[in-house]
Structure 1
Amino acid sequence: MRTSPLWRPIQWLLSLIFILQMYLAMLVIGIAYLPYAVLNRDGAAAACHAFCKWVRLSLWLLCGLRTEIRGTVPQGEVLIAPKHQSFLDIILIYGALPRAKFIMKAELRFAPILGWYALRIGCVPVNRGKRGAAITKMMSDVRSGLARPGQLIIYPQGTRTAPGEVLPYKIGTAALYSQLGQPCVPVGTNVGLFWPKHGLMRHPGTGVVDFLPAIPPGLSNAEFMAQLEARVETSSNALMAEAGYP
């Protein structure tokens, strides 16, 4: 079918249907779980996990895009530092972890449904250019017992990066690593090949996120950042090559 001249318009139409029903599902699931989520934070996490499962299923059924989780998924208190290529890696990583929470852009607080649920599960809003202040606030919350236990996810490049795009790794991840004193789990991915940074098209294939062996606590900032970047980039490049990216 992919060699047919009709393939691209059909795939584009299926991709559009997928996107529309995904946001409809976000609304339906958000409303259905709302009483439970208001009463108990576990309800908010359950809603987010249900949404992640639905996105993965509908993505496969409509667009032919399968998803795969590799490596050992952390269960305890760790810092997670993934490659960020599209919304799909957020879905796969959150859906795999038992108690995830993100360092997220502050403006997402005002996104309908998504913003409230993000705050409810313990995500930490960060103003662009003020990450240091946000890290200080988060550490204060951890010490005072306000922050929920779980896996804290920070994207070390700070934003989505398309396959082949080169962006620096930011020192905020090292600050969290040193202050938390926890292992850091790097995560590679190839999902940007199938769910691009821009555009509506969702391509068939297998999108993967790979949880890599943890970097133990106690390294210097320079050692940690060098290991983190090397592991994430090596894994992501290998996954993209496996999927046929030159």
Structure 2
Amino acid sequence: MRYAFQWLRSLLFIILIYAGMVVYAIAFLPWALLSSRGASAAAHAWCAFVKWLASWLIGLKTEVRGTPPTDEVLVAAKHQSFFDIILIYSALPRSKFIMKQELLYAPILGQYAKRIGCIPVNRGKRAEAIKKMLADVKSGKAEPGQLVIYPQGTRINPGIKAPYKVGSGVLYRELGQDCVPVACNVGVFWPKRGIYRKPGKAVIEFMPRIKAGKPLDEFMAELEQVVETRSNELMAEAGFTGLPTPDSKG
């Protein structure tokens, strides 16, 4: 019975956050059309609404640990569900994401993503995607701020091991910026797919910077070790018991 009530609250929550997306998009539209700052303000306001509604309606609290960067850096984050996007965006002043190209065609979301400077990539053509991504960043098409990339390229369920892709390393090398790793336990409560949302505390944690200038292989190894180790710790803290063992193949 408790599961059924939580499922119904989760369904209502999903309906309300997307209804809220429409309301905020319309309310901020004149400002968003005039300036990318208007689009950013709309996105921040909606993220704050989602966090509040999650706490009030489904009992999902949120916490941001560490120090979110405010300067021009690369942010490389663990990606488990849509909720970690919301938490990261709400914590950063001027973030924009490397995102899959299909999202450009999502109503409202795609239009606002373009306005805040997100960079679409075609994940099916990796070499071309990396080349275009670098070109877009360097040409100034991307707005100033914190560039967020998900090194594994997609949402990964808790307990599943997946490789880190070289695109994040190429960006780190070519941009010559520090990288801020981000760990999370969000997928324990808000799954990659499905309606049910668990109550608890979803955490994202901004880790110490990886300074610019490291060799690509060294950077990739350090990034994966830092993000995976801390994410596993956060998931264990949240009560998740399905973590992979060191010799697990996922």
State the TM-score bracket (shorter-chain normalisation): over 0.9
Q: Is the 8 A contact 1:41 1:121 kept in 2?
A: yes
Aligned residue for 1:183?
178
CA distance in 2, matches of 1:48, 1:119: 12
CA distance in 2, matches of 1:197, 1:104: 16
TM-score scaled by length of structure 1: 0.95
CA distance in 1, matches of 2:134, 2:157: 31
Task: Report the CA distance shift for 1:105/1:243 in structure 2 as closer, same or farther (over 3 A).
Answer: same
CA-to-partner distance for each residue in 1:15-52, whole Å, 9 max, x for gaps? 00000000000000001100100001100000000010
CA-to-partner distance for each residue in 1:130-187, whole Å, 9 max, x for gaps? 3443443343344443321110111000000000011100011100000000001110
CA distance in 2, matches of 1:199, 1:140: 36
CA-to-partner distance for each residue in 1:82-134, whole Å, 9 max, x for gaps? 00000000000001000100000101000000000001100000012334434
Task: Report the CA distance shift for 1:102/1:131 in structure 2 as closer, same or farther (over 3 A).
Answer: farther
Provide runs of 4+ in structure 1 moved above 2 Å: 129-147
CA distance in 2, matches of 1:143, 1:170: 20
Number of residue pairs the alignment of both structures matches: 241
Match of 1:199 among 194, 202, 227: 194
Aligned residue for 1:162?
157
Q: Is the 8 A contact 2:117 2:141 kept in 1?
A: no
Letter in 2 for 1:145: G
Q: 1:199: how far off?
A: 1.1
Q: Is 1:58 the equivalent of 2:60?
A: no
Among the aligned pairs, what percent are the same residue? Answer: 60
Q: Say which is worse superposed, 7-16 or 122-131, in terms of deviation.
A: 122-131
CA distance in 1, matches of 2:179, 2:125: 22
Secondary structure of 1:241's aligned partner: helix
Unmatched runs of 5 consecutive residues or more in structure 1: 1-5
Unmatched runs of 5 consecutive residues or more in structure 2: 242-250
Aligned residue for 1:148?
143
Q: Is the 8 A contact 1:186 1:212 kept in 2?
A: yes
